[in-house]
A and B are shown apart, each in its own frame.
Chain A
Amino acid sequence: MISIKPLLAVLVSLLVVPILVSSRTPNVREAWTFVAASAKFLIVVSMVPAVLRGEQLVYTVAQVIPGAPIAFRVDPLGMLFALVASSLWIVTTAYSIGYMRGLGEHGQTRYFCFFAIALSSTIGVAFSANLLTLYLFYEILSLATYPLVTHHQDAEARVSGRKYLVYILGTSIGLVLPAMLICYHLSGTLAFSDQGFLAGTGPPQLMTILLFMFVFGFAKAAILPFHGWLPAAMVAPTPVSALLHAVAVVKVGVFSIVRVLTGVFGIELLSWLNLGTIVCVIASCTILIASLIALSQDNLKRLLAFSTIGQLSYIILGVGLLSPKGITGGVLHIAMHAFGKITLFFCAGAIFVATGKRNISEMVGIGRRMPVTMTAFFIGALSITGLPPAGGFLSKWYLVLGTLQADQIAMLVVLLVSSLLNAAYFMPIVYRAFFCPAETAMFENRVQEAPAFCVVPLVLTALISIILLFYPEPFFSLARLAAQGVTGG
């Protein structure tokens, strides 16, 4: 079904940029950001029923290269991701206002503009119908997030910005671009299809090389050893870390890998060449190592970054299992992890706004000072660890079922060990925040939360995290549809 809605969903935040630049007062500017965010969300939501009915909305923008136009296609996988990103943008906008004003940051107009551009390209990636379109928005996202990462414009930001570009642009130009061209050369098309288009086009060795080029080339997924940019990017203001480095940017990386695995290679080819196992091994190494590194972190945002690195690979692991349940779990984890992790980042930011503290060792007893924030933090941590009553439990459950379905007991062990590790690095924070002895507490026994603009969003996302366990729609249906589509079952 041809529909212009995907294009509108992409463009709406881009069109608002000139208005943001020219608006006179911060209130007008932020009002427009809200308008754009809500409009985007509504457009995305309006497409949900059609996707649930099993229809695909397509729209071709320009015929640039034969077999590879700039085109959009909305399918369950893309829809799930777009839904997560666009809904969280609204929440993050509110949080940004609280955070940026609370700290009196400079260059706020620039900040909101690039945020809008970044969201446009995120949705673009979600809805892209072929590899070329995906690459296009992937690159725009890389470039649009640079000013956000380096927002503080100081020496530290400069170093991190460089690292960010080297990893992200270096891999995308150096690995993805050639890989994409080889694919095009092999098959003459780049359009994603449920069965993939590479089957039977080249020798197995070449397929393996291509797989490596894609998996490591999408460095936004922060697979070891291309993860170094993510902790470095934590110098950005917290809303950026929250939405972009827990949801939009990193998930774009993961989403791209998932898309390539399912839509370019195809599950059949992967299982025939036994490439799924390779993917699983790469992912599980990342999961374990990242979790171990996270244990030793004191800076809260860095800890969250390493936790993110590990969690992202869950998604890839799920798809690498090549079993319907595994894929459902992996795809569902995109949503579950997003809500859980953004809550955690919001909490880290709220703590920084309210107390100026960044390190975990300085947060002993903070639960008494900021009870709401720390309760939300607890819920987020539960979700990430995969414990009820938070939504993370559901996706992990499906991942575990997936390992059983695929007979990958080693992967099951990896999942369980890493869950233990997750608990090991999150729970002490929560414990010390609430239950430390009174004499070691670093804060006065007086409730003082961050501004409402900061607190409301994090409460909201924490609540959603819980609700998602009991009512995981439409994410669950979308994930299941996506898994059914690619496995044909």
Chain B
Amino acid sequence: MSSQYPGLLVIVPLLSALLISVAGWVNKRLCFPIAVVGLSVALYASIGLLLRVLAADPALDGGVVLYRLGGWDPPWGIAYYVDRLNALVLVVVSVSALLNLIATKNDVQESFSTKIGAFYTLYILLVTGLLGITVTGDAFNLYVLLEITALTGYGLIAMGESRAPLASLNYVYMGTIGACFYLLGIGYLYIITGSLNMVDIASILPGLYDSKVVLAAFVICMVGIWLKMGFFPLHAWLPNAYTYAPSAVSSLIAPLMTKVMIYVMIRLMLTVFTPEFTFSVLALKTSVVWLAVIAIVMGSILALGAPDVKKMLTYIIVAEVGYMVGGAWLGNRAGMTGSILHIANDALMTLCVFLAVGNVVYRMKGYGFDDLRGIFVKMPFTMIGFVAGAFSIIGVPPTCGFFSKWYLISGGIEAGHYGFVAALVFSSLISAVLFFKLIEVGYYGSGDAHHHHGTAPVSMAEAPISMVVPLLIVAGGLIAVGLYTGDIVTHIIDPVIAQTIMD
């Protein structure tokens, strides 16, 4: 059974998506339970995989779980490789997707009462795609899954408010071009290596590092992936698409989509084109980090000018993408550790703030700054979650955001890249301004200016318990993950980087 985990991880959600689309016609009530079951199995499998990978001896078989799809041996068949890196990402993806699914149940049922089948089908397919991208060891298979994720994402985003279809359409253009670039890069890799299997490519490449084709392949792949993750200045599609999407979709896509793309980037940098090529042969390291610096600074500044809460959060994502790209490209252990750690942490904290905003939208029917007036009195528990997420994004210890920022900054210091250090500090300060702006609105606008006369009369209008509990679980998770940073780094991230020699 446990040897089938990688397969189950993708097959079960895929089948449950098909089942949901059928159930949508028969009995709409069945859709949600099927989705929960599908994702629970995925979660179970990914935790099982993580435990298996952790138990595996890195010296023996590289600590990698290999799964042959359809029984074909690599490099001919499609192989799934699971090491500690993608096991971590798998757990993050499945946990976030499942929590979000449960948290947004009420919202989805009220907003899409007639389209529940379609919604959950797309939802589960999207998660399937994300899990597939993470687990696959085949470069072309990754492209297909990338497009599955993207296509379902377009559909989900377009289900949002009135401006959503246009935003989604713009996302289609950019997303497709990004994926095409990736495909083109893979094509070049195929020309020179004759293989599509990542491990196989990695074993063939070392003799070919001088080849211009390899260089072209690498650069084209990177551009494609940067487009997909919204790396400044290729981010233009991101804010609108994530803002106008329904809140249940925003809180799924915003935490996971960009983070999985970062994972793909790191996978290409570490596994396919070994760090030796990425950092030593190519002279791109410093320039990419400077690009990341610009991304961080611009993301933060644009967030300052954002007209509403969701837009603001999406620009913060643009800045966070800069964190991770920059950290990964610093070319040292601390930076890469920070980047990988931030994949998990940023997914959780983005999920946290978007879930909180989702709750606010559910009650207040809007996400403008004015809708937050007096929100601390109206929705205290939601705001506890929101504040926890906000503190994590600002980087207040002991939330997890602090620790990944710690590694990123110390990576910057180690590499002597003080521009990156300054950008991170700047962005932390800006996030503090941004979130305290919101907190201020929520804290002062309670309408009880006559404060010397007893308790405030504003009544509570908290979101349903099924929406609040997952949010608080995520908020607690932020602190828990923060306190377990040491274990995550030593047991999961260190071996990943150790395998690929980098100092």
Please count how many residues in chain A sit with their CB below 8 Å of the partner chain's CB atoms: 39
The answer to whether residues A143 and B391 also contact, given A103-B452, A106-B452 and a CB cut-off of 8 A, is yes
**Chain A contacts with B in 147-164, Cβ cutoff 8 A:** 147, 150, 152-154, 157-158, 161-162
Name the A residues within 8 Å of B397 (CB-CB).
132, 135-136, 139-140
- Min Cβ gap B482→A in Å is 7
Q: Closest approach, in angstroms, between the C-beta of B441 and any C-beta of chain A?
A: 10
| Stretch binding the partner chain, chosen from A86-94, A169-177, A332-340, A427-435 | A169-177
**A182, B418: Cα distance in complex, Å:** 11
A185 touches B413 (CB 8 A): yes
Whether A140 contacts B443 by the Cβ 8 Å rule is no
Q: Is A1 an interface residue (CB 8 A)?
A: no
The contact string, 1 if C-beta is below 8 Å from chain A, for chain B 403-430, is: 1001001100110000001000100110
Within the assembled complex, what's the spacing in Å between the Cα atoms of A165 and B487?
Answer: 33
Identify which of A69, A139, A173, A182 gathers the most chain B CB atoms within 10 Å of its CB. A173
- Given A173-B395, A173-B429, A178-B425, A154 and B449 touching (CB < 8 A)? yes
A489 CB-CB contact with B under 8 Å: no
Q: Tell me whether B429 and A62 are in contact (CB under 8 A).
A: no
CB neighbours of A66 from chain B (8 A): 486
A104 CB contact (under 8 Å) in B406, B428, B454, B486: B454
A102 to B: closest C-beta gap in Å: 12
A62 pairs with B484, CB closer than 8 A: yes
Tell me the chain B residues, 251-299 only, with Cβ under 8 Å from chain A. Answer: none
Q: Assess whether B365 is interfacial by the CB under 8 Å rule.
A: no
Q: Which of A38-73 contact B (CB under 8 A)?
A: 61-66, 69-70
| CB-CB under 8 A for A178 and B421, given A62-B486, A104-B452 | yes
Cα separation A227 to B444 with both chains bound (whole Å)? 25
Confirm or deny: A34 has a beta carbon within 8 angstroms of a beta carbon on chain B: no
Say whether A203 faces chain B, with CB atoms less than 8 Å apart. no
Task: Considering the complex, give the chain A residue whose CB is closest to the CB of B431.
Answer: A173
- Are A178 and B451 in contact, with the CB atoms below 8 A? no
> Taking the complex as formed, is B184 at the interface, i.e. its CB lies under 8 A from any CB of chain A?
no
Residues of B in contact (CB 8 Å), total 37
On chain A, the residues within 8 Å of B448 by CB distance are 106, 153
Tell me which residues across on chain A come within 8 A of B428, comparing CB atoms.
173, 177
- A266–chain B nearest beta-carbon distance, Å: 22
Contacts of B485 in A (CB 8 A): 62, 64-65
Bound-complex Cα distance A135 to B403 (A): 12
Q: Does the CB pair A185–B414 fall under 8 Å?
A: yes
Whether B425 lies near A174 (C-beta < 8 A) is yes
Which of B398, B406, B455, B486 makes the CB contact (< 8 A) with A107?
B455
B151 at interface by CB-CB < 8 Å: no
Nearest CB of chain A from residue B499's CB, rounded to whole Å: 19
Q: Is the beta-carbon distance between B398 and A136 smaller than 8 angstroms?
A: yes
Q: Are B440 and A158 in contact (CB under 8 A)?
A: yes
Q: Is the CB of A161 within 8 A of B451?
A: no
Given contacts A150-B443, A165-B432, A177-B425, contact A104 B410 (CB under 8 A): no
A469: chain B residues within 8 A (beta carbon)? none
Q: Is A407 among interface residues, defined by CB-CB distance under 8 A?
A: no
B434-462, CB under 8 A of A: which get 1 and which 0? 00100010011010110111111000000
- B34 CB-CB contact with A under 8 Å: no
CB-CB under 8 A from A143, the residues of chain B are 391, 396
B410 touches A184 (CB 8 A): yes
Chain B residue, CB-CB nearest to A158: B444
Across-interface contacts of B454 in A (CB, < 8 A) = 104, 106
Determine whether B199 belongs to the interface, using a CB cutoff of 8 Å to chain A.
Answer: no
CB distance from B336 to the nearest CB of A (A): 15
A-B contact list, 26 entries, CB within 8 Å: A62-B483, A62-B484, A64-B403, A65-B485, A66-B486, A104-B453, A105-B451, A106-B448, A135-B397, A136-B397, A140-B397, A147-B443, A152-B451, A153-B443, A153-B451, A154-B449, A154-B451, A157-B444, A173-B425, A173-B432, A177-B428, A178-B425, A181-B406, A181-B413, A184-B410, A185-B414
Shortest 4 CB-CB distances between A and B: which pairs? A63-B486, A136-B397, A62-B483, A64-B485
Q: Please name 17 further chain A to chain B contacts, defined as beta carbons within 8 Å, in addition to the given A64-B485, A174-B425, sorted by A numbering.
A: A62-B486, A63-B487, A64-B486, A106-B452, A132-B397, A135-B397, A147-B443, A152-B451, A153-B448, A153-B451, A154-B451, A165-B432, A169-B429, A169-B432, A173-B425, A178-B425, A181-B409
